[in-house]
Each structure stands twice: as structure tokens, then as C-alpha cells.
Amino acid sequence: MSPVVYLHVGAPKTGSAYIRDRLALNAANLARHGVTVPTKRGTEIGTFHFRAALDLLDQDWGGPAGHAEGCWPAMVAKAVRASSSVVISHEVLGPARPDQVAQVMKDLADCEIHIVYTARDLGRQLPAVWQESVKQGRRWTFASFLARLDEGETWFHRALDLPSVLNTWSSNLPPERVHVVTVPHERSRTELWQRFARAINVEPTWAPLDSELTHRSLGIAETQLLRQLNRRLGLGMHRGATYDNLIRTMLAEGELVNRETLPVTLPPDRYESVQDTAQLWIDWLEGSGVDVVGDVDDLRPRRPAEDVEWQDPDRTRTRQQLDAATDALAAMTREAAHRSDTLGQVLLTRARRLRGR
């Protein structure tokens, strides 16, 4: 029997990293139920899926030159050898060009292909995507990000445009093989997993280990601090491993995310536009006949309470940003001291070994 391949192609900031991590944690148990989450010896599952997606898209960012070469053919080889069902997941697949999608269909021609797309309302998603881009090294303001998005010039526009992504990926598939999972407003990870599990036709209990991966949002002051740091360092999307380990992981996803500050939200005059977009998405879904797992009303943005004053994320108060910078400097100092102590212990141990010879 031909394997059934579920391609989870996005979108970014819809819990996709959480889903992928839960798949990885439970890969062995899922395999016992006939569900393959392809892996490569010596490589984490998430990294393998990321590199396979980059290889397919002919991209080479997020690592040293050539780090993704050959990963897509390796992924295909594992998928076609599977006995039952296969799950391939990464959000960078979403904006693939028609010729790249055609390559996927050709490579997996002997499989039954399904497309899975997790979708979130733009009222929450746009601030989250901007923050994530800053954590990745981008230097643009929130206003600039939104303007570029309106112009359709960015990767993010292509990744977040639900009808466009699904029209491209499903052009040769029956609608029942296209599954849209809506992200609940209440941010329930359990509910999101249950919806995703239904989309890929597995029992949720086959993956009992819950992921501890959390991507809490940064506040306004913290996001601006990172943006200014990226500018000072001259960084862009092609940052190195040092940035990932020190600034992104330690600061952005560690020290700064725990601070209690104002969240980034859409400008009030943006809600009418994103509500119109949500209605277009819902109309498209209802007319397309694709399988929707969840409630389409989850795609409708919710306005903040009227008594909540909006603060422009590009105009932070000096004291707020100074407090964030001081906490970041303290964290960096502790890390530098720790690394110095660790290096000193390593050198001392080696010296003692040399003296003992």
C-alpha cells in the first residue's frame, strides 16, 4: 500500500514549532502506530525537516553554506519507504513556488499526498511574526514591517496569505486532501494538538509527551531593544551561530521574555483591514470544500477592550527600554563570567593532565 504523506506547510507563528517538537518527542511511539516522522542519524528531527525544506526551496540560510544540500532527496527516500503514513513539517514550505510544488508532487508521486496548514487570526499573528523576525536578526520597525506586508514584497506576505498558499499547494489535489487547522483564540496547546492530530488522522494519545517548547511573546521595550541591537551589530536574516546561541536563545527566548511589559498589538486602525481579510479567508474556505479542523471564527481578530490604550511599538518610553537594556546587560555579564569560569576550569584540567604525564 502506498504511504500517505502529510505535508505541514505552515504558517509561521501558528504553533508549528510546538507541533513539530511534539511529533519529535513522540516519534518512537508514533512509529509503533504506523506513523513515520522522518529523521536523520545525528540530526534533530526539527533540524532535518528545516534543512529538507530549504533544500527543496533552493535556500541556504540558517547555517553554514551547503548545510541543507541533499536533505530533500533524503527526506523523500524515507517517505516513500514508509509503510503507512508520514508527517513532514516546516513552515518555510508555505511560500513555495508552483514549480517547487510540482517537484514535490513528482518526487512523492507514488504516495497519497495531503496538505496541512495551520492558520491563526492576523490580529495575533502579525505582531508575533514581526517579533519573530526581529529575534531572527531583522532591523525593521513595526510600521515598516506592516507597510512592506501591504505591498506584498516580503516572504511573510507569501507565507501568511492563506488562499494563495493553499491554491499553490493544492492545485492538483482533491479538496478532501487539504486540511486547515485553526488556532484557538484561547492559546490552548492541548486543543491545537488535538486538532492537528485529527488533520493527520492519528489518535492524539499516540503522542502523550507534551512539548515544553514555549515561544512567549516579547514586550514592546524588549523587541525594540533587540531591534536596536541588531542595527548596532549590523545584523540581518543571515546571522551566525553566535547570535542564535547568545542573543536569540539566551536573551530573546530567555531573559527578556520573562519581563512584564506592554505587549505588541496591532494599531487600532488596522483591525478593520484584518477583519476584512479574515472574511475573505472564511469565504474561500467555505467555497473550496477543503477540510477545516476547528472553528473558522478563530480566524476573526478580536479587538482589545476599549479602555486599553494602544502604545506604538516603535515609540518606546526611554525608561522602559533602559530597564530592559540593564537586565540584558546583567544577563550578558553573568553569561560571560560563566563562560570564563568554564574555560578556566578546562584549561586548568588540561594543565594538570600535562603535568601528570
My answer on whether 69 and 179 are in the same domain is yes
- Give the orientation angle of helix 71-80 with respect to helix 98-107, to 10 degrees: 40
The rounded Cα 225 to chain-centroid distance in angstroms is 22
More confident residue, 194 or 341: 194
Q: How far apart are CA 13 and CA 31, in angstroms?
A: 27
More confident residue, 343 or 278: 278
Look up the domain containing 230 and give its range: 218-262+317-357
pLDDT of residue 330: 81
pLDDT at 248 over 80: no
My answer on whether 240 and 93 are in the same domain is no
My answer on whether 244 and 257 are in the same domain is yes
Which range of 60-74, 122-136, 304-318 scores highest in mean pLDDT? It is 122-136
My answer on whether 163 and 108 are in the same domain is yes
My answer on whether 151 and 195 are in the same domain is yes
In this structure, are residues 113 and 177 in contact, taking their beta carbons and an 8 Å threshold?
A: yes
Whether 281 maps to a domain, the answer reads yes
pLDDT at 238 over 70: no
Which residues 6+ apart lie within 8 Å of 194 measured at CB? 204
My answer on whether 141 and 157 are in the same domain is yes
Q: Which amino acid is at 285?
A: L
My answer on whether 211 and 222 are in the same domain is no
pLDDT of residue 255: 76
Can you give the CATH number for the domain in which 68 is found?
3.40.50.300
How many domains does the structure of the chain reveal? 2
Whether 304 maps to a domain, the answer reads no
pLDDT at 300 over 90: yes
Q: Is 279 helix (H, G, I), strand (E, B) or coil?
A: helix
pLDDT of residue 322: 84
Torsion of CA 100, 102, 104, 106, to 10 degrees: -140
Confidence of residue 284 (pLDDT cuts 50, 70, 90): very high
My answer on whether 144 and 286 are in the same domain is yes
Whole-structure pTM over 0.85, yes or no? yes
- What confidence tens digit (pLDDT) does each residue in 206-215 have? 999 999 877 7
My answer on whether 54 and 181 are in the same domain is yes
Whether 232 maps to a domain, the answer reads yes
More confident residue, 157 or 321: 157
Confidence of residue 90 (pLDDT cuts 50, 70, 90): very high
Other C-beta atoms within 10 Å of 72: how many? 22
pLDDT at 292 over 90: yes
My answer on whether 189 and 333 are in the same domain is no
For residue 88, with 0-12 CB atoms within 10 Å meaning exposed, 13-18 middle and 19 or more buried, which class applies? buried
My answer on whether 57 and 202 are in the same domain is yes
My answer on whether 232 and 192 are in the same domain is no
For residue 165, with 0-12 CB atoms within 10 Å meaning exposed, 13-18 middle and 19 or more buried, which class applies? buried
